[in-house]
Homo-oligomer: A and B are copies of this chain.
Amino acid sequence: MAEVWVLRLGHRPSRDKRVTTHVALAARALGARGIAVSTKDPELEKVVRSVVERFGGDFEIRTGVKWREFVGQFDGDVVHLTMYGIHIDDAIERIGSENVLVIVGAEKVPPEVYQMAKFNVAVGNQPHSEVAALAVFLDRLMKGGGLRKDFKGRLRILPCERGKKVVSDSE
């Protein structure tokens, strides 16, 4: 698998602050290389970069991105997650080993997104959550590998049956 990017459309900083934060952090935790957000949002950038700074990895966030240009210039397969698309069971094997750009909207996306995407994919043809859809899509796309990434962070959480174990590198 080459690089996976996420594009978040229709983000409204006041209303969508928390859900877009979930989208961004899920993208990072599940192995994506970065997220582009079509609306400028310095606060969102700050929150996500703070996680990267502490927990590691090379995850990038860019906000205020001109999304049509971003999609047009993307070198790889463009996938749009929508409950109206082809079921993920039927779509995932058709997505190659190229770079993948995954588009997730906040509410309705412009109709042209359905045309720009090579694949419109439904993580179940039911209304639910773009955070959930993105997470399952990335997990399946990377065959579980995203969750096994070593982030080499300054803070590291050690798996534990009960309680919390966090290791912090001295600086």
Segment at the B interface, from A35-43, A65-73, A84-92, A95-103:
A84-92
The reply on A126 being an interface residue by CB < 8 A is: yes
Partner of A124, one of B22, B30, B89, B158: B30
The 0/1 profile, CB within 8 Å of B marked 1, for residues 134-166 of chain A is 111001100010111001000011111111111
Q: 29 interchain pairs (CB within 8 A)?
A: A22-B129, A25-B127, A26-B129, A26-B131, A29-B123, A29-B127, A30-B124, A55-B126, A84-B163, A84-B166, A85-B161, A86-B160, A86-B161, A87-B159, A88-B147, A89-B148, A90-B159, A114-B162, A114-B163, A115-B162, A120-B162, A125-B158, A126-B157, A131-B131, A132-B134, A132-B135, A136-B139, A136-B147, A139-B140
